[in-house]
Amino acid sequence: METKEIIHLDNTCKRYRMGNSVVEALCHVSLKIKQGDFLAIVGPSGSGKSTMMNLVGALDLPTEGEIYLEGQDIAHLHESDLAQIRGRKIGFVFQTFNLIPTLTALENVMLPMLFQDVPRQERMKKGKELLKLVKLEHRMDHLPNELSGGERQRVAIARALANNPDVILADEPTGNLDSKTGKEIVEILINLNKQGKTIIMVTHDLEKAKLAKHIIKLKDGKVEK
């Protein structure tokens, strides 16, 4: 049975106006990502990596071209519709973790389920299961500032999985971690991919990029190879 296409960028461009000039952050990119893929996006600073991640993650809209998520054109949706898609279909992992400092690890993981109207008992049960998955069940009542960088990133991964999304977008997930901890985080992503999750990871680290199934190299807003 053929693997279904989950994300399709079709001749996609993103331009930003800066003063009197226009910067083309992404230039006529066409790309197909299939369900269960593990893709690493690499390239120098300013190559368009974060722009592509924002477009794929429905955080931004293209200036030109189309973006399809599971066959649905998301390039022209209203923000409220995009927010619903982000909440249900995409999990985000960021370099800076983006945990809420006043919430415990468990409460941070439970938060995305609140926006999908999941009952509290179910949120708590699922949150504990996810923290156990990332081997942090013993730290669930700790605040982010009581956790190491690696532990915070594990909480962020658990939170990304809260609504059982099809796609995990990891933007420099090891950028603030030492090499050993970074390798552990990538191994968690590899295991999630083996369980069927589609993983898209932006990274500067070519060694970690090689652990993905496919590598997309961007330069000056274009796919170089």
Strands across the sheet containing 21-34: 21-34, 5-18, 64-69, 72-73
Distance CA 13, CA 194 (A): 32
Does domain 37-60+78-223 match CATH 3.40.50.2300? no
pLDDT for 39: 94
Distance CA 114, CA 133 (A): 20
Residue 18 pairs in a beta bridge with: 21
Domain boundaries, the chain: 37-60+78-223
pLDDT 10s per residue in the chain (225 long)? Answer: 567 889 999 999 999 888 888 888 999 999 999 999 999 999 988 888 989 988 888 888 899 999 998 888 888 888 888 888 888 889 999 888 999 999 999 999 999 999 889 999 999 999 999 999 999 999 999 999 999 999 999 999 999 999 999 999 999 998 888 988 998 999 999 999 999 999 999 998 888 899 999 999 999 899 886
pLDDT for 56: 87
DSSP letter for 71, please: T
- Given a contact cutoff of 8 angstroms between Cβ atoms, the answer to whether 137 and 115 are in contact is no
Print the SS3 string covering 101-127.
CCCCHHHHHHHHHHCCCCCHHHHHHHH
Distance CA 9, CA 13 (A): 9
pLDDT for 92: 93
Structure tokens that stand for 6 in this block: 């989950």
Global pTM reads 0.91
- Given a contact cutoff of 8 angstroms between Cβ atoms, the answer to whether 70 and 48 are in contact is no
What is the amino acid identity at position 109? V
Distance CA 39, CA 58 (A): 17
